[in-house]
Structures are given as structure tokens and as C-alpha cells.
Amino acid sequence: MVVGSEGPTCQLRSVAAAHLISVSPRDLIRAEVGPDFGAVGAAGDLRAIVGALLTYGLVIAVLMLVVSAIAWAMASSSGGWHTAQKAKLGCFVAIGGATLTGAALTWANWLLDIGPHL
């Protein structure tokens, strides 16, 4: 049996098209699709562990910055240009490490805060 353009297939397509036209983007955004991060019972413990580990990372980065700055100053005053260059690189690495560590803490907290809303 061949169904023409006036058959059930055409009617289903028109109903589907009408439904897609009537769906607004706001309804699609409000759809409850995604994992349930609120089901993780230890989110508070996870936040404390991440915060503690990143605090250690920041302390190590600051200590590295202090040691590298002292080495840079001593090498520059004594004329050791190669050591001064390496110490300057150590300062930049320490600043970058502290920045990335702080950003990682902020990012982890943001992810843990947004989890229950998904």
C-alpha cells in the first residue's frame, strides 16, 4: 500500500514540525537533562580536600618564589648571569604555578556549586 502526500506520514510530519516550532529555546534550557550531582553525598568533604591540597600548592609556590627571588638577587649581584637567568625563570614558574593553583581552586568550587543546579 502506497500512501500519498495526504496520508498519515504527511500528517505526522506536520505535527512534528508544529511541535518543534512551538518549543521555545527557554523551554529547552529548562529541560532537566544531565547527571544528578546532588546525589554525591560527600561534596562538602570533596570541597575540603580540594581546598586543603590547593592550599599546600599555594604555600609551595610562594616558598619557591621566595627562594628563586633570593637566588636571583644573589646571582645578579655576583655576576653569575646564567644562574640569575635560571632563578628569574624560577620566579616566573612560581608565579605561574600560584596563578594556576588559585584558578584551579576557583574552578573546582565553581564546579561544585553548579553541580546541584544541573
Residues 6-17: pLDDT tens digits? 555 555 555 555
Phi-psi group of 3: left, alpha or beta (phi > 0 → left; psi -120 to 50 → alpha; rest → beta): beta
Instruction: For 72-87, write each residue's pLDDT tens digit.
Output: 999 999 988 999 999 9
pLDDT confidence tier of residue 96, bands split at 50, 70 and 90: very high
Q: In whole angstroms, what is the distance from residue 82 CA to residue 88 CA?
A: 10
What is the model's pLDDT at position 61? 92
- pTM of model > 0.85: no
Distance between CA 31 and CA 1 in Å, rounded?
40
Asked whether 82 and 16 are in contact (CB, 8 A), the reply is no
Burial of residue 40 (CB within 10 Å: 0-12, 13-18, 19+) is middle
pLDDT > 90 in the chain, percent: 32
